[in-house]
Structure 1
């Protein structure tokens, strides 16, 4: 019987409108993406700042005995049923996260290979070696069937060490992982059961997965999957989607604003997951329901206005106006009229009365950005408006009462400005009622992957472009880049990458970085033999055509010397010809002697990356 043709995820999505309609183990091909090498390349280490990454997800390297101790404490404290439920649900979340990673990183991967990526990731993460015996799925028919062997289960090792051989299977979190991965990837509830287990005395664990209907009664399985905090998908205050519920609908789950949805991404949405970000969000939630003045501090580009807008949206004033003023962008001669308004005839050119920002924000929120740039005269008038809740237009004689919540922001140290006599002390204390500090992005590394995906979706939609995400080395570069311009610079890099990359291709380092200085301190990646090697070794210079296109597109072509271009051209020709000088010369329309002369000249100026080893004609 002729096997059905292989269909990529992109083609299946085009034909059916959903991902992964069918596949089986007979169509798995080792060389199809994502390969084991692809997945291994996605795991890298940043020992300098204490982080490990799996593509854009932060990981932890823990002693197996540490998790074994925690497991034993849970069982002894909560009882075996509740402990099993907690571990099963934790495994489910891990599997669902890995499914999201694979779905977004390899959107055009073959169906069978995308499924197999879960087994390989589980092994790469050190949990268990997975050997698939067979699997087959067809979402249109609502069917799934798979059988697997698990070897070297870390969960079995710890369970046996603590309790010995028993009569019950013990790979609870691993069953949860398999359930979470398959269920989240294909949008159908798939239940895995461990029929044989090393903790029961078997030589290896044997696991079978089926769609829920094929098992019949799955109440016992759901008892361990269901918990109150997992039943509903809510959107956190950070804008990051929480883990999906184990009980998924019949269509693939797509959190609000994720790839594949048509919902627009809000321009001022705040995104993050780091401890510093969550701390700021917690403070924001605490003060939002009050009328207190809030002062945001932090470097330029950290998102102070976005946080101010979020504060307004979750406050009781959300239905009223939010008015933003950049104090640094308004000339000193106009700042008073901008804030307080002007009456007709107050000065030359004042042909009509005009309300100021305080009046326009009446009942709502007034955001004063870069407040440290105000002159001492303007500071005094602002102080009176804040203290009394009333203003007077320029040229006016009438006092106007305003109900405004003032939110200010600054990227300078106002206390230092007070000591230097450039900022009024009384105004500082009036503004500093509830300060919230937003740390620079280099101190919020955990937020970088989320921001990358957020801006990728937004900029791709805005410019009408389609990309397949980021290459592993692009992710590594972004995670290690210091971002002197903070979130604003990250957004610009992503926008540049979206514009520079070819439609349907992944964004690479050369698409984003031009004159920016990448950090010399290397990340460490997993090498071909399982050893840690500097990740920058896997970052060759961009091809000549990419370098030229990037330079021309950014107006920096004049910074490339002819000698540098010639050396790069010769090197690429030699590499393409595998060191054969005669063949390389023919590629460039030169004789072998002309090529050899130019190569020697380039070598004297600066050693090319690779030297030719063949001189065949």
Structure 2
């Protein structure tokens, strides 16, 4: 095994500092987070809605033979080199995402344990059974070396079944995964290479990982990480990029304010529709429940349209009294009624050349509906108290959280106005129907409120993630936003957001998903009761007594675990970071 290089001339203090930074497999604490048990508990199975989660990442459970069939198709279509490059990059991205998840979930863990979580996750996901030979690294210097044995590789099984024993290694996705995890962990490109493989007739697969600049011929492997290598095989041009290799895990530019966030099918369909209609002047009608993000979609539609440089004007029709809605929409002339001391333009005039967004349009009175219909038909408006008409060039975007067809049938909404508005309808589903977007929204809101409230909250506990993924969100995105802001405020400095920070106003949590129990069997996960230690509204006289009881509980757990903080945390149903914070708060650290 090679060791990280040491400069030829260094002082004794520098040498000691260098050696103190180097982490090796000898530094592993078997009881420290993330343990294999904690990693397994991050898996959640939700049969009711057909989803499997690894903390906040959606997973798939599929047969190894299905992967084998896909692999054979790729080799037949792209050739072996093209298929290898594609699968290597897919594995790389999976490893980088797992590294991001581990560092976000267990931010206070020792780096050696954090790095060792990668091979454990690799085994937990059913791809291979890894055995650590050695690893050591110095993040500050960028030095890295790792060596593993891979037993029972599913990739080898499928490759040998399809192509028999050959002369080349075949654990392409696994090599990509190991490289992606280590690269995200180190912040530089790490290349793993198979030096032995069962697909070449070896008894076991053996891999070695080093920084790209420490291999004699890194180009032998590096070209597999370039997207255009396999894209050329199918006549497509993909810009070569390798952004996932060294992108900082805390890059705040990932979710800029005002941007739509989501990856679910229904979200993608809605975004595709606004992209198709943006270049036109057609009237758009957004439907969907309150809090689903209709105004943000309308703003995005305006921003990507040719009218982007003109005003975007919004009006909540439900917030304006019937007696004032006409003047709000069309403006008013001086002296038109008592109190009209000056002339002022209405929303149509202010939005001239741009977009007028009318939210909750079903709340308009019948009289207001008639006047709006004329404005939409004629593209001419008349201020209240004026005898002169004004031509306006406005794109109208409306939104409603009720079914306008039902309102028409009930006689509360004009049918002719409905058909005038319903030129290009776009439905936005409730958040419970786009659960794949919840992790992205959680992260975006966490970043926003962490900065707004100046709180160093590292993230969410696995229990909090599971609870949010299962919650039905009657208030939709707006409610998720409020829950995350509440969690950021209530969580202590450097303490992750837990369930009791989120659900404090009588919210009814959904059925908890299934998790992995002892022996690998699925079992119902138990949701811990809200911790009274973080409660609000308790009398000052109760606080000292409560703190003494809490401190004694933690002392007992520490004694029972022989002062192993990670084991004590598991006994208490907490993460190691949570317990460490509470011990510090109570003066027990």
Residue 199 of structure 1 corresponds to: 199
CA distance 1:495–1:573, shift in 2 (3 Å)? closer
CA distance 1:249–1:83, shift in 2 (3 Å)? closer
CA distance 1:469–1:325, shift in 2 (3 Å)? same
Residue 372 of structure 1 corresponds to: 362
Match of 1:550 among 525, 528, 536: 536
1:291-330 alignment to 2 at 5 Å?
Answer: 291-330=281-320
CA distance 1:269–1:144, shift in 2 (3 Å)? same
Moved more, 342-351 or 451-460: 451-460
Inter-partner Cα distance in structure 2 for 1:97 and 1:21: 25
1:22-421 alignment to 2 at 5 Å?
Answer: 23-228=23-228, 245-246=241-242, 252=248, 255-258=251-254, 265-266=256-257, 268-421=258-411
CA distance 1:136–1:79, shift in 2 (3 Å)? same
The answer (yes or no) to whether the contact 2:500–2:531 under 8 Å persists in 1 is no
Secondary structure of the 1:150 match is: strand
Q: Does 1:540 align with 2:536?
A: no
Inter-partner Cα distance in structure 1 for 2:551 and 2:249: 48
Match of 2:487 among 492, 497, 501: 497
What's the CA shift string for 1:116-148, capped at 9, x where partnerless? Answer: 111111111111122222222234433322111
1:572, distance to aligned residue in structure 2 (A)? 7.8
Inter-partner Cα distance in structure 2 for 1:379 and 1:391: 14
Inter-partner Cα distance in structure 2 for 1:352 and 1:339: 16
The answer (yes or no) to whether the contact 2:307–2:353 under 8 Å persists in 1 is yes
1:25, distance to aligned residue in structure 2 (A)? 2.5
CA distance 1:574–1:181, shift in 2 (3 Å)? closer
Task: Please give the TM-score of this superposition, normalised by the length of structure 2.
Answer: 0.85
Residue 237 of structure 1 corresponds to: none
The answer (yes or no) to whether the contact 1:25–1:112 under 8 Å persists in 2 is yes
Residue 12 of structure 1 corresponds to: none
Where do 5+ consecutive residues of structure 1 fail to align?
5-19, 232-241, 259-263, 580-617
Using CA pairs below 8 Å that are at least 6 residues apart, which structure has the higher relative contact order?
A: 2
Secondary structure of the 1:144 match is: strand
CA distance 1:134–1:244, shift in 2 (3 Å)? farther
Where do 5+ consecutive residues of structure 2 fail to align?
5-19, 232-237, 558-589
CA distance 1:321–1:22, shift in 2 (3 Å)? farther
1:571, distance to aligned residue in structure 2 (A)? 10
What's the CA shift string for 1:271-299, capped at 9, x where partnerless? Answer: 11111111111111111111111000001
The answer (yes or no) to whether the contact 1:32–1:113 under 8 Å persists in 2 is yes
The answer (yes or no) to whether the contact 1:186–1:252 under 8 Å persists in 2 is no
Residue 432 of structure 2 corresponds to: 442
Inter-partner Cα distance in structure 2 for 1:229 and 1:344: 69
Residue 561 of structure 2 corresponds to: none
1:244, distance to aligned residue in structure 2 (A)? 11
Inter-partner Cα distance in structure 2 for 1:569 and 1:139: 39
Q: Does 1:523 align with 2:513?
A: yes
The answer (yes or no) to whether the contact 1:322–1:365 under 8 Å persists in 2 is yes
Task: Please give the TM-score of this superposition, normalised by the length of structure 1.
Answer: 0.81
Inter-partner Cα distance in structure 2 for 1:248 and 1:71: 23
Inter-partner Cα distance in structure 1 for 2:240 and 2:406: 47
CA distance 1:453–1:243, shift in 2 (3 Å)? farther
Q: Does 1:426 align with 2:454?
A: no
Secondary structure of the 1:348 match is: coil
The answer (yes or no) to whether the contact 1:99–1:184 under 8 Å persists in 2 is yes
Q: Does 1:506 align with 2:502?
A: no
The answer (yes or no) to whether the contact 1:148–1:206 under 8 Å persists in 2 is yes
1:309, distance to aligned residue in structure 2 (A)? 0.6
Secondary structure of the 1:550 match is: coil
Secondary structure of the 1:454 match is: helix
CA distance 1:219–1:484, shift in 2 (3 Å)? same
CA distance 1:292–1:509, shift in 2 (3 Å)? same
Inter-partner Cα distance in structure 1 for 2:251 and 2:363: 41
CA distance 1:203–1:550, shift in 2 (3 Å)? farther
Inter-partner Cα distance in structure 2 for 1:319 and 1:389: 20
Residue 592 of structure 1 corresponds to: none
Q: CA RMSD in A?
A: 2.9
Secondary structure of the 2:149 match is: strand
Inter-partner Cα distance in structure 2 for 1:87 and 1:21: 34
What's the CA shift string for 1:527-570, capped at 9, x where partnerless? Answer: 243221111x2x22233333xx2355xxxx9xxxx9xx9xx999
What's the CA shift string for 1:456-493, capped at 9, x where partnerless? Answer: 11112111212121111111111111111111111111
Inter-partner Cα distance in structure 2 for 1:481 and 1:520: 5
1:302, distance to aligned residue in structure 2 (A)? 0.5
1:246, distance to aligned residue in structure 2 (A)? 3.4
1:371, distance to aligned residue in structure 2 (A)? 0.3
What's the CA shift string for 1:396-439, capped at 9, x where partnerless? Answer: 12211111111000001101111111111111111111000000
Secondary structure of the 2:332 match is: coil
The answer (yes or no) to whether the contact 2:353–2:394 under 8 Å persists in 1 is yes
CA distance 1:230–1:79, shift in 2 (3 Å)? closer
Residue 447 of structure 2 corresponds to: 457
CA distance 1:74–1:265, shift in 2 (3 Å)? closer
Residue 17 of structure 2 corresponds to: none
Inter-partner Cα distance in structure 2 for 1:153 and 1:425: 64
Moved more, 320-329 or 133-142: 133-142
CA distance 1:253–1:243, shift in 2 (3 Å)? farther
Secondary structure of the 2:194 match is: strand
